[in-house]
Amino acid sequence: MSVEQPPAHSVPAGAAVPAAPAGPSAAPYDALLLLSFGGPEGPDDVVPFLENVTRGRGIPRERLKEVGQHYFLFDGVSPINEQNRSLLRALRDDFAQHGVDLPIYWGNRNWAPYLTDTLRELVGDGHRRVLTLATSAYASYSGCRQYRENLADSLAALAAEGLQPPQVDKLRHYFNHPGFIEPMIDATLTALAELPTDVRAGAQLAFTTHSIPTAAADTSGPVAAHTSEGQGGAYVAQHLDVARVIVDAVRERTGVEHPWRLVYQSRSGAPHIPWLEPDICEHLEELHGAGVPAAVMVPIGFVSDHMEVKYDLDTEARAKAAELGLPVTRAATVGADPRFAAAVRDLVVERAATERFAAAPAPAAAPPERCALGALGPSHDVCPVGCCPARTPRPAAAGAQ
């Protein structure tokens, strides 16, 4: 079941709940789809899950065994599904409180509830126009295009079953939406406050995200943002923009300009293929060697405390810091923060208004305001042709043809 509780907009028969005042319109959309990675929920799920993740990709066997071990350390349970359930509750509460009448479904790429099953259910419930929220905030093949390929595959599977697939769109990247960044600013301040007072002012901020092959980074985002020679394309540019906003906000609130760097984690793939560097653990060694007294890890690349955060940061990087004797704390991820739920509502209402405006530009109407912090401005609504290309071209939905 992808809808685990009655949609927040429906009132149980006989309940004396006053109807929420009508809020902003989500038309033409009739459903929101939370699209995520999925993760195992017990020891028996781990190997089948990893088989799903690596289907058709050349992840070395050694790496898979290692990743399997990370999951077994936590009884085979990834935190990601529970975090998505919390996010669903936060979104449904927020939409209900603000009178946004849009049912919310949840489907994953690699584990139940599987995307195809969710879309089948959504079509069975009569929905025809779906807006997608992916649990990845930045442009990249893994964080954007691959989800669009999953949507195309699932829509094709429904068509093969004789169902009429719905029209599916995807929300713009939200890395620079204030409702995504503000919780991270607070989390960074909290993590700084957790450091011993004598080392706090000298602490470096280590912003972390998932490493990806440098070739994938260079071709991330629209073609105009592509770079050469390991400069990182839109993927790196977007993370740097977020890091600068956080550093500036921390300086405004504490009076301290903390030195910082964007670093990477969770690398996989063959060793001879270049991926974004440095790794967080190498970086901590380097900071320690340079006499830096403390560090805060800020996982801006992750929407919630995924296994990468629980294992690669909280287990591995913390062990490295302890070995070095370097005081290190870790900032919380955004998770189900109400400000993030409100940001999603804002993005849904904004996109719905954009679609209505495009369909019938009325002289009185104006395109909606588009919230964004930092220097890059609001991201595109529709991924253009050539955005975050796959190495082998495959059909992708929710983008320009």
Provide the binding-site residues for Fe ion, judged by CB under 5 A: 139, 144, 383, 387-388
Residue 143 binds which entry of ligand HT9, Fe ion, none, CB below 5-8 Å type-dependent: ligand HT9
Window of 74-82, 98-106, 241-249, 390-398 that interacts with ligand HT9 by CB under 6 A: 74-82
Residue 144 binds which entry of Fe ion, ligand HT9, none, CB below 5-8 Å type-dependent: Fe ion
Query: Residue 174's Cα: distance from chain center in Å?
Result: 8
Q: Rounded to whole angstroms, how far apart are CA atoms 129 and 27?
A: 9
Q: Kindly tell me which of 37 and 207 has the beta carbon lying closer to ligand HT9.
A: 37
Residue 219 binds which entry of ligand HT9, Fe ion, none, CB below 5-8 Å type-dependent: none
Closest residue to Fe ion using C-beta atoms: 144
Q: Kindly tell me which of 140 and 154 has the beta carbon lying closer to ligand HT9.
A: 140
Q: How far is CA 267 from CA 11, 67, 213, 319, 333, in A?
A: 47, 11, 9, 18, 20
Does 238 sit near ligand HT9 (CB under 6 A)?
Answer: no
Q: How far is CA 354 from CA 22, 24, 179, 372, in A?
A: 19, 13, 20, 16
Give least dist CB 325 to ligand HT9, A: 29
Q: Kindly tell me which of 3 and 59 has the beta carbon lying closer to ligand HT9.
A: 59
Q: Kindly tell me which of 220 and 329 has the beta carbon lying closer to ligand HT9.
A: 220
Q: Rounded to whole angstroms, how far apart are CA atoms 328 and 309?
A: 14
The answer to whether 104 touches 32, Cβ cutoff 8 Å, is: yes
- Hey, what are 84's tokens? 């998505």
Q: Kindly tell me which of 139 and 317 has the beta carbon lying closer to Fe ion.
A: 139
Q: Rounded to whole angstroms, how far apart are CA atoms 89 and 6?
A: 11
Q: Kindly tell me which of 47 and 157 has the beta carbon lying closer to ligand HT9.
A: 47
Secondary structure (DSSP) of 354-399:
HHHHHHS--TT--PPP----SSS-SPPSSBPTTSS--SS----SSB
Residue 387 binds which entry of Fe ion, ligand HT9, none, CB below 5-8 Å type-dependent: Fe ion
Taking phi over 0 as left and psi of -120 to 50 as alpha, with beta for the rest, 56 belongs to left
- Kindly tell me which residue out of 176, 214, 219, 268 binds ligand HT9, with binding defined by CB under 6 A: 268
Q: Rounded to whole angstroms, how far apart are CA atoms 215 and 218?
A: 5
Taking phi over 0 as left and psi of -120 to 50 as alpha, with beta for the rest, 355 belongs to alpha
Does 212 sit near ligand HT9 (CB under 6 A)?
Answer: yes
Please give the backbone phi and psi of residue 93, each rounded to the nearest 5 degrees, phi first. -60, -45
Does 204 sit near ligand HT9 (CB under 6 A)?
Answer: no
Residues numbered 292-321 forming contacts with ligand HT9, rule: CB under 6 A: 306-308
Residues numbered 103-142 forming contacts with ligand HT9, rule: CB under 6 A: 135-136, 140, 142
The C-alpha angle 258, 209, 205, rounded to 5 degrees, equals 10
Residue 265 binds which entry of ligand HT9, Fe ion, none, CB below 5-8 Å type-dependent: none
The answer to whether 8 touches 95, Cβ cutoff 8 Å, is: yes
- Kindly tell me which residue out of 54, 254, 315, 354 binds ligand HT9, with binding defined by CB under 6 A: 54
- Kindly tell me which residue out of 17, 21, 57, 197 binds ligand HT9, with binding defined by CB under 6 A: 57
Give least dist CB 143 to ligand HT9, A: 4
Annotated binding-site residue numbers for Fe(2+): 210, 308
Secondary structure (DSSP) of 245-258:
HHHHHHHHHHS---
Q: Kindly tell me which of 90 and 276 has the beta carbon lying closer to Fe ion.
A: 276
- Hey, what are 162's tokens? 């004789």
Residues contributing to the site for ligand HT9 (CB under 6 A)? 37, 39, 50, 53-54, 57, 59, 63, 67, 78-80, 135-136, 140, 142-143, 210, 212, 266, 268-269, 306-308
